[in-house]
């Protein structure tokens, strides 16, 4: 499947359709060309949005449980092709095969989970001031949802956006990242087989500046659900402002990990390392900086440097047992290289790694640990999105929390301590959307994944994530 040069087509109104322009997708581990996908023009985007708009009223009139059944059928098909789908993800995104399989199976579970909400969508009956009056609060769909995706968990993020949208009666137009569109077209191939009514789910691929911009500027869109960078999120908000379109934005993080002097250091090392090498450090919720208490700083730094140095990496399809693949593209690699260079120039000490891993081809970077970092350094403030862990020493929990909170980001955070009182104190004071205590950073589908500050607006998962895709309608009924 790796060198067959597939051509994918947009999916609009229940049919796969040609576009005028195409772009190439390549494997980041070795540069090999994988496929051609449409660069959708404004007219393609408008066609997809019109199809979604026209299909929405009939879709919303179906009982939620019937809508949910399509998600269950899709989940079954995904499980049936899990290995093939995982390979498609690995070859275009670079994550190791085991993680790609986890992503595929998690996606199927997520579709089932969101389908279970069909019989649990609830409005409210509110006590009235007037005799004989009933006040009802209904939950209604928003209409058409535009889902704009990044490349780091490209398959799961389709489901994270379309499943709650469809079960609550919205229709959807998805734009995958131009880096990783193939898996989205494979997802769509399976969805096409389950007989979903035409127009309910549409896909237009292309770049951000043309396809993405056309989606966000259209008055046919009722909500934009976006995961990606802060800069793009900000541009999307500006574009959405013209039509007062609702936005739901997940914009990454700079997750602090606080390691206190009573922590189980081996557990902290294991969890923080796992969190930093997973998907080659390209995960919004994973540890991006460590604040370690002085008494255990040497032990922690020594152990994590050795653990990171032991990480195996390379081309995930050629070496299935490695722990880490390449970065997504040249831009991602150059960003990591430059950030580590500036950190060492600013006085950080390199404990391990610090170089491009020369494997002949691909965007590989060595697992890297930097100690002696200070909170004014770029490496402690800007999202790295690579396998690089900067460490700063602190004197106590309060200093760690103050430094952790002094950030543009506010998505996830973690604390390692054996003291329940210190853990609870940290949870009260830390100003983040999520905090993990004594465990690696990874959210559950029944939680609520949402950040503060520039990490975004709104959130995903669970009951609260489901209701993001609804609006209220209050009815006052006097009898
Ligand atoms: O993201 P972009 P990029 C962070 C991470 C990474 C950096 C850049 O730090 O290094 O962002 O990654 C579409 N209107 N995250 O350049 O540009 C684009 O086509 C509408 C964190 O890949 O945000 C793609 O589909 N859409 C993050 C999507 O936005 C536009 C995951 C994401 O691209 C657009 C990924 C526009 N004007 C990167 N411009 C996370 N939150 O986990 C671009 N796009």
Give me the pLDDT at residue 4, please.
58
Coil, helix or strand at residue 203: strand
Share of the chain above pLDDT 90, in %: 97
Residue nearest to atom 42 of ligand 1 (CA): 284
Query: Rounded to an integer, what distance in angstroms lies between the CA atom of residue 134 and that of residue 114?
Result: 31
User: Whose CA is closest to atom 24 on ligand 1?
Assistant: 177
Alpha helices in 146-212 (DSSP H): 154-167, 182-193
Q: How far is the CA of 63 from the centre of ligand 1 (A)?
A: 35
Class for the domain spanning 6-251+454-478: alpha beta
pLDDT in tens, 358-417: 888 999 999 999 999 999 999 999 999 999 999 999 999 999 999 999 999 999 999 999
| Ligand 1 lined by 216 (C-beta under 6 Å) | yes
Regarding the beta carbon of 207 and ligand 1, being less than 6 Å apart is answered yes
Residue 49 parent element (H or E): helix 42-61
φ/ψ of residue 133, rounded to 5: -100, 145
Query: Catalytic residue among 178, 179, 186, 284, which?
Result: 284
Rounded to the nearest integer, the mean pLDDT of the chain is 97
Give the DSSP H or E segment for 318: none
Selecting among 91, 92, 186, 250, the annotated active-site residue is 250
CA dist 57 and 55 (Å) reads 6
Residue 227, ligand 1, Cβ within 6 A = yes
Q: In sequence order, what are the beta bridge partners of 389?
A: 369
Residue 10 Cβ contacting ligand 1 at under 6 Å: no
- Answer yes or no: is pLDDT of 198 > 70: yes
CATH superfamily of 255-442: Aldehyde Dehydrogenase; Chain A, domain 2 (3.40.309.10)
Q: What's the chain's Rg over C-alpha atoms?
A: 23
CA of 474 to the centre of ligand 1 (A): 37
Instruction: Tell me how far the alpha carbon of residue 420 lies from the centroid of ligand 1, in angstroms.
Output: 38
* pLDDT value for 2: 44
User: What's the pLDDT band for 5 if we cut at 50, 70, 90?
Assistant: confident
- Report pLDDT for 360: 86
Residue pair 292/434 in contact by the 8 Å Cβ criterion: no
Tens-digit pLDDT profile for residues 218-241: 999 999 999 999 999 999 999 999
Q: Is 250 in the pocket of ligand 1 (CB under 6 A)?
A: yes
Q: Which strand (E) or helix (H) includes residue 11?
A: strand 10-12
Q: Are 377 and 350 in contact (CB under 8 A)?
A: no
Spatial separation of the C-alpha atoms in residues 312 and 364, rounded to whole Å: 11
| Residue 399 is among the residues annotated as catalytic for this protein | no
The closest-lying atom of ligand 1 relative to the alpha carbon of residue 236 is 14
| % of the chain exceeding 70 in pLDDT | 99
Q: Give one word for 458, left, alpha or beta, with left for phi > 0 and alpha for psi -120 to 50.
A: left
Establish whether 250 is a catalytic residue.
yes
Closest CA to 252 of 173, 330, 328, 151: 151
170 lines ligand 1 (CB under 6 A): no
Per-domain boundaries in the chain: 6-251+454-478, 255-442
Threshold 0.85, pTM exceeds? yes
The answer to whether residue 307 scores a pLDDT higher than 80 is yes
Q: Rounded to 5 degrees, what are φ and ψ at 264? A: -75, 100
456 lines ligand 1 (CB under 6 A): no
Strand 449-450 with 459-460, pairing: antiparallel
CA of 89 to the centre of ligand 1 (A): 18
Work out the number of other CB atoms within 10 angstroms of the CB of residue 127: 7
């Amino acid at each position: 499947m790796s060198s067959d040069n597939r051509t994918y087509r947009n999916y609009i109104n229940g049919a796969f359709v040609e576009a005028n322009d195409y772009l190439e997708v390549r494997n980041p581990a070795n540069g090999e060309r994988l496929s051609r996908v449409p660069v959708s023009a404004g007219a393609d985007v408008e066609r997809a949005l019109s199809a979604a708009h026209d299909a929405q009223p009939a879709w919303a009139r179906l009982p939620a449980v019937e809508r949910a059944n399509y998600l269950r059928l899709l989940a079954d098909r995904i499980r049936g092709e899990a290995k093939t789908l995982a390979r498609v993800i690995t070859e275009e995104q670079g994550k190791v095969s085991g993680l790609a399989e986890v992503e595929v199976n998690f996606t199927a579970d997520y579709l089932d989970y969101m389908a279970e909400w069909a019989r649990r969508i609830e409005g409210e009956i509110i006590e009235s001031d007037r005799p004989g009056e009933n006040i009802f609060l209904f939950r209604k769909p928003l209409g058409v949802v535009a889902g704009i995706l990044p490349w780091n968990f490209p398959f799961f993020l389709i489901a994270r956006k379309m499943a709650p949208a469809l079960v609550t009666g919205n229709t959807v137009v998805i734009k995958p990242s131009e880096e990783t569109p193939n898996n989205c077209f494979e997802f769509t191939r399976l969805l096409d087989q389950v007989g979903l009514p035409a127009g309910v789910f549409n896909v237009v691929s292309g770049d951000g500046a043309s396809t993405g911009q056309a989606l966000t500027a259209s008055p046919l869109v009722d909500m934009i659900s976006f995961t990606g960078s802060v800069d793009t999120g900000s541009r999307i908000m500006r574009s959405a402002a013209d039509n007062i379109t609702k936005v739901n934005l997940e914009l990454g993080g700079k997750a602090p990990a606080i390691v206190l002097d009573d922590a189980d250091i081996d557990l902290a090392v294991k969890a923080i390392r796992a969190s930093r090498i997973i998907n080659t450090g390209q995960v919004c919720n994973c540890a991006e900086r460590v604040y370690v208490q002085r008494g255990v700083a040497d032990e922690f730094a020594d152990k994590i440097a050795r653990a990171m140095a032991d990480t195996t990496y390379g081309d995930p399809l050629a070496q299935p047992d490695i722990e880490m693949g390449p970065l997504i593209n040249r831009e991602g690699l150059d960003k990591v290289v430059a950030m580590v260079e500036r950190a060492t120039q600013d006085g950080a000490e390199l404990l391990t790694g610090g170089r491009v891993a020369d494997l002949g081809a691909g965007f590989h970077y060595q697992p890297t640990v930097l100690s002696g970092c200070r909170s004014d350094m770029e490496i402690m403030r800007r999202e790295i999105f690579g396998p690089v862990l900067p460490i700063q020493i602190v004197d106590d929990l309060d200093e760690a929390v103050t430094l952790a909170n002094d950030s543009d980001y506010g998505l996830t955070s973690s604390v390692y301590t054996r003291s329940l009182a210190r853990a609870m104190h940290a949870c009260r004071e830390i100003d983040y959307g999520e905090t993990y205590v004594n465990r690696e950073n990874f959210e559950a589908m029944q939680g609520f994944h949402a950040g503060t500050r520039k990490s975004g607006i709104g959130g995903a998962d669970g009951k609260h994530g489901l209701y993001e895709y609804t609006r209220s309608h209050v009815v006052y009924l006097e009898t």
